[in-house]
Structure 1
Amino acid sequence: MPRTRIDDNTAAPWWRTAVVYQVYIRSFADGNGDGIGDIAGLRARMPYLRELGVDAVWINPWYPSPMADGGYDVSDYRGIDPSFGTLAEAEEMIAEAHALGIRVVLDIVPNHTSDQHRWFAEALASAPGSPERERYVFRDGKGPDGSSPPNDWRSRFGGRAWTRITEPDGTPGQWYLHLFAAEQPDLNWNSREVRAEFESILRFWFDRGVDGFRVDVAHGLVKKPGLPDIGLPDDALFDEERRRPDHPHWDVESVHEIYQTWRKIADSYADERVFVAEAHVHEDRLPLYVRQDELHTAFNFPFLKAPWEAKELRAVIDQSICALTPVGAPPTWVLSNHDVPRHVTRYGRDCTRTLEHDVRPGPSDRALGTRRARAAALLTMALPGSAYVYQGEELGLWEVEDLPDESLQDPTWRRSGHTVRGRDGCRVPLPWSGMDAPFGFGPKGSEPWLPQPAEWAGASAQAQSGTPGSMLELYRTALRLRQEQPGFRGESLTWLDTPDGVLGFERSPVLRCLVNFSADPLPLPRNWGVLLASDRIPNGTLPVDTTVWLWGGGASRR
């Protein structure tokens, strides 16, 4: 393989190299025994996160919500849902996290509100063309009686993206847009009132010490004038739809005006406040979201989607770093999150590209998936930039694919007519301790909102803590070395000449990472010591599906 090099930059702000732990709060820890994770549970487990070695936590939406989509249908952006706690508890949690050296990143959901939001109630009670309706995307229907949707846009959760309302006088009325569930009406970002409201929301939480926001559907806020049809068949895949040139509601150019304003707000605070974008856009478009005057970072979804194959992963890594370098942004690596099947399960299949929960790709080899997940963790932590850890991946948790039908709560299950099982399998509450459910997630005898598999007894944090070779101890060691080792500092990466099926790179002249994707063990180079490996290294050879960090050149380990 030819050699490439990305320039160094050692004076990095915290967010450029941070490891951020994603807390799906409903499933993290239950402090009051009602079966739902909450702020009290999160506060009790904060020392665990400190011991793990993360730099920050990202908390999925904790705002008041009817929970039609797990909290991504927000009814009040300045409060805390009662099932999670109170605003006072949230402020105390932020202070406690800061005292432990852990920063706090919240989710913000700017594309849509809940249909229970005060604004939407006012819109329904007002006339077409009123200022109250202008906060959302309302349109007259097609046809002589307006009974057809305004265009052919589809909901991401299935079905049409439009719902017709009944006007205050009882007559059939306008249609409103919802790119997701019908309970999530899209906001109209051409409205000055909408823009001002979210600027105020950002300041509300920044003033309470929040260090940043993950921006949900960052590429979807602005819609093209006239709302033109997409022009694809109903059975077209969503990835195919996203690749449509000049898309009418994804990645519309004027969305960047919003983030330029948001960046000014963040920069107005003495301590750094940051943004990370969830932007499902073409790789060539992603740098536009993280220019110096816009958002700080963006999730690297091509890395998450890449198969377990050396050539493709190297191409993704190269493309990601090289695309972001001209705009001065670091890459942000991620292996799993609350929207995709857990990577232990993905990597245990022949087709590791499978990311949609509506596909049934066949059985997964859990032992193979776990081995690859261990190797992927060390690969990820060795790359320059920041990284996100989805709760439970440090325990080696797998996708729960046999949840009872009656327990499923993802809106895709209902909107698909019970044909698409949805994302609940990656959201099952964590196992903390004990041999029986709820495995320390909540008090003994409580019932979690989703059932946990009995096999999770051996995967609990208690079972793995202090156990040599466990996934938890691998993560703890990797994060500690990432912080301590001078070789990980800066943002340099130099590819090494390696055999086919092997990735190798230097982070410094004294620190190397090798990953063996091939079918044969790889002899390790002489005069290099093993700093950390994802599995045992017998007789100086790197086994298949294994990653190793090497140090050498007479350097100290510290």
Structure 2
Amino acid sequence: MVRVDHRQVPWWKKGVIYQIYPRSFQDSDADGVGDLVGIKSRLDYLASLGIDAVWLSPIYPSPMADFGYDIADYCGIDPMFGDLTGFDRLLSAVHARGLRLLLDFVPNHTSDQHPWFIQSRSSRENPKRDWYIWRDPAPDGGPPNNWISDFGGSSWEWDASTGQYYLHAFLTSQPDINWREPQVREAMMAVLRFWLDRGVDGFRIDVLWHIIKAATLPDNPINADWTPDRTQRDRLIQLHSTDQPEAHAISADFRALADSYGDRVLIGEICLPNDRLARWYGTANRPQVHMPFNFQLIESVWDAAVIRQSIADYEASLPEFGWPNWVIGSHDAARIAARVGDAQARVAAMLLLTLRGTPTLYQGDEIGIGKVTIPPDRVRDPQGLRQPGLGLGRDRSRTPMPWDGSTHAGFSTLDPWLPLNEDWPTRNVAAQDRDADSLLSLYRSLLALRRSHDALAIGEITLVDAAEDVLAYQRRHAGESLLIVLNLGGKTRPLMLPTKTCVAEVLASTLLPSTASRSHRAFRSVDNVLAPDEGLVLRLKEKH
């Protein structure tokens, strides 16, 4: 079989990214919070898992009002996590294992404790006043427009000392930067250069579609479809406060800088419909981010027909040069196992790692952490605290990683900053590492399969007909044809093979090995079936 020359394929196209939430990965200094030394101590685990790159949520100095997404210094490390020397050691250790390291870049806003904002707030005449978005009150003395913060309440905060409002898309302690100010652009590009010079392999760019606002700041339209069970933000359509045309030039400048450093990658957090999301790839002559994050598997109902249509629509929306990507979990969303259950979490793993495009795996999903109950007195997330009752709290997906059955699950010697998953004594890395039937073992086998079969890593995709509740697609590359069939339901379904093909080999199954072996013998029978909650990767051959 002809093999692709991987030297001609960027690493981020055939690789798998693993997101670490640093507060919750591994504590090394007995304060109940994860840190860089802790991450470094677990790199062998990540290498053995079979991922290619690690993305760290923010580790910069911060008051932690929004747990690191309120940055007080873009070019430092918060003492909670370590220091720059420790970061350099971590980066070297990551590279020594053949892995890449991505950082979170937060360009839309800073902390109100950032020196830039302290200066901007000091007076209307300060040289950095225009580094943020300040406006006079409306004629009635209220906010300049009707914009609503993503965390609820007005997007405007009154500053009595200077007699103006400042804009904040999130918390009042996260003032939005004014990207129409040239000096701001220069300063933020310098931030990217600081880390690229240090050797990082790229960035995930936070809320990129928020980065610039309509110049005249008009009111956003009322959302006629809003209902009280939705967030306050959704009362309005964010027509003028997000996804402005000028933002694409900024994104293209980011890309040009990253490309000047060689094999780097930019991933944009952009929550938009397919047609608008695709614009963030830019053009062949003026590219923007390498991958605008695709959250459809997080947002979709778990239904084969719905997901099939989502895949088709997403693939159709991509520009010719655009590379797809998929995620099933993140630090902002409910856990995949909590959404679909243990059996379907195995199917979700196979889906994530066999679709065309770059997968991002969120820490803990590989062992199936499910719903975690956060007692009211331990809720930490400001989004959940500010809008209770809507299920917006993100603590549920940020709980500490359970490593073993020892006290505090091997995460810390102290009670962690958030509670562990209740089943941590049995659902932990060490327990699943010893179990060939575990979800962790399935992830490892699927990740190894991606490495050994270019059809899964970089091959084309074709959706194929399947029975009810079943999602099926072919992946092809260099003469190899693989069929992935996923039963997203709890009933036995017929297995439908493409015309003039038969199964040459079963490469992977979501079922336990003892069960899978019996299932695989069924391929020699007339009535081929898929068991409930079964997913298969099959190598096909032509039927003569």
- Shorter-chain TM-score above 0.5: yes
Aligned amino acid, residue 529 of structure 1: E
CA separation in 1, counterparts of 2:296 and 2:384? Answer: 26
Structure-2 residue corresponding to 1:467 = 435
**CA separation in 1, counterparts of 2:202 and 2:121?**
33
2:526 aligned residue? none
Distance 2:392 2:356 in 1: 36
Unpaired runs of 5+ residues, structure 2, are 523-528
1:354 corresponds to: none
Within the alignment, does 1:396 sit opposite 2:374 as a pair?
A: no
Choose from 130, 138, 142 the match for 2:138.
142
1:278 corresponds to 2:275: no
The one-letter amino acid paired with 1:314 is R
Aligned partners of 1:210 and 1:311: how far apart in 2? Answer: 40
| 1:191 equivalent in structure 2 | 181
Residue deviations 1:10-55 (CA, integer Å, cap 9, x gap):
8421111221000000001101110000001000000000000000
SS at match of 1:275: strand
Matched letter for residue 273 of structure 1: R
Equivalent pair of 1:408/1:421 in contact (CA under 8 Å): no
C-alpha separation in 1, matches of 2:329 and 2:495: 31
Indicate conservation of the 8 Å contact 1:376/1:547, yes or no: no
Query: Contact 1:321/1:330 (CA < 8 Å) preserved in 2?
Result: no
* 1:219 aligned counterpart, secondary structure: helix
1:204-219 alignment to 2 at 5 Å? 204-219=194-209
> Residue 280 of structure 1 aligns to a residue in which SS?
coil
Q: Residue 128 of structure 2: which of 132, 144, 156 is its match?
A: 132
Q: Distance in 2 between matches of 1:407 and 1:221?
A: 32
After the TM superposition, which residues 102-501 of structure 1 pair with which residues of structure 2 at under 5 Å, given as runs? 102-127=99-124, 130-144=126-140, 146=141, 148-167=142-161, 173-232=163-222, 237=230, 241=234, 244=237, 247-269=239-261, 271-291=262-282, 292=284, 293-326=287-320, 328-347=321-340, 369-400=341-372, 402-416=373-387, 422-436=393-407, 438-443=408-413, 446-501=414-469
* SS of alignment partner, residue 284 of structure 1: helix
Q: Does 1:31 align with 2:31?
A: no
Distance 1:215 1:9 in 2: 30
The answer to whether the 8 A contact 1:308-1:517 is kept is yes
Residue 47 to residue 554, structure 1, CA distance change in 2 (3 Å)? farther
Structure 1 pair 229–517 and aligned structure 2 pair: CA distance change class (3 A):
same
Q: How far apart are 1:495 and its partner, in Å?
A: 2.4
Report the Cα offset of residue 486 of structure 1. Answer: 3.6
- Indicate the RMSD between aligned Cα atoms, in angstroms: 2.3
* 1:351 alignment counterpart: none
Q: Distance in 2 between matches of 1:505 and 1:419?
A: 36
C-alpha spacing 1:226/1:476, structure 2 compared with 1 (3 Å): same
Measured at CA, do residues 554 and 55 of structure 1 come closer, stay the same or move farther in structure 2, by a change above 3 Å?
farther
Alignment partner, residue 361 of structure 1: none
Are the equivalent residues in 2 in contact too, given 1:17–1:387 (CA < 8 A)? no
- Could you tell me how far apart the structure 2 residues matched to 1:439 and 1:334 are? 26
Letter in 1 for 2:357: G
* 8 Å Cα contact 1:242-1:281 kept in structure 2: no
Structure 2 CA distance for aligned equivalents of residues 303 and 502 of structure 1: 16
Distance 1:285 1:419 in 2: 27
Whether 1:19 and 2:11 are equivalent positions in the alignment is no
Distance 1:524 1:457 in 2: 41
Per-residue deviation, 1:126: 1.3
Amino acid at match of 1:534: T
Amino acid at match of 2:194: F
Is this contact kept in 1: 2:151–2:233, CA < 8 A?
no
Find the residue that maps to 2:274 and give its secondary structure. Answer: coil
Which residue number corresponds to residue 51 of structure 2? 54
The match for 1:360 is: none
**Number of positions where the alignment pairs a residue of Structure 1 with one of Structure 2:** 513
Q: 1:421 to 1:511 in 2, by over 3 A?
A: closer
Three-state SS of the structure 2 residue aligned to 1:285 is helix
Cα shift at 1:213: 0.4
CA contact (8 A) 2:399 2:418 kept: yes
What is the CA-CA distance between 1:122 and the residue it aligns to?
Answer: 0.6
Q: Distance in 2 between matches of 1:434 and 1:119?
A: 46
In the TM superposition, residue 491 of structure 1 has moved relative to its aligned partner by 3.2
Q: Structure 1's 554 and 480: CA in aligned 2 closer, same or farther, altered over 3 A?
A: farther
Q: CA deviation at 1:418?
A: 8.0
Separation in 1, partners of 2:5, 2:458: 5
Q: Which deviates further from its counterpart, 386-395 or 229-238?
A: 229-238
1:550 corresponds to which letter in structure 2? L
Map of 2:531 onto structure 1 = 543
Displacement, 1:551? 1.6
Q: Aligned with 1:49: secondary structure?
A: helix
How far has the Cα of 1:468 moved from its partner? 1.2
Contact 1:464–1:473, Cα closer than 8 Å, also in 2: yes
CA contact (8 A) 1:385 1:491 kept: no
Deviation at 1:487, TM superposition (A): 3.0
SS in 2 for 1:372: helix
Which of residues 67, 72, 77 is equivalent to 2:64? Answer: 67
Distance 1:86 1:435 in 2: 29
> Structure 1 residue 490: deviation in Å?
2.7
8 Å contact kept, 1:155–1:180: yes
Distance 1:108 1:403 in 2: 29
Q: Which amino acid aligns with 1:543?
A: A
Cα deviation, 1:197-216, whole Å, max 9, x if unaligned, reads 11000000000110000010
The answer to whether the 8 A contact 2:405-2:424 is kept is no
Scaled by the length of structure 2, the TM-score of the pair is: 0.90
Work out the CA distance in 2 between the residues paired with 1:489 and 1:411.
38
CA distance in 2, matches of 1:125, 1:489: 53
Decide whether the 8 Å contact of 2:465 with 2:496 is kept in 1.
Answer: no
SS in 2 for 1:549: strand
Counterparts of 2:56 and 2:83, CA distance in 1: 15
> Whole-Å Cα distance in 2 between the matches of residues 240 and 208 of structure 1?
38
What is the CA distance between 1:416 and its match in structure 2? 3.0
How far, CA to CA, are the matches of 2:469 and 2:381 in structure 1? 39
**Structure 1 residues 417 and 345: alpha-carbon distance in aligned structure 2, compared to 1, 3 A threshold:** closer
Q: Which range moved further: 404-413 or 196-205?
A: 404-413
Q: Provide the C-alpha distance between the structure 2 equivalents of 1:232 and 1:243, rounded to a whole number of angstroms.
A: 5
Distance 2:333 2:47 in 1: 26
Secondary structure in 2 aligned to 1:457? coil
Q: Any conservation in 2 of the 1:412–1:420 contact (CA below 8 Å)?
A: no
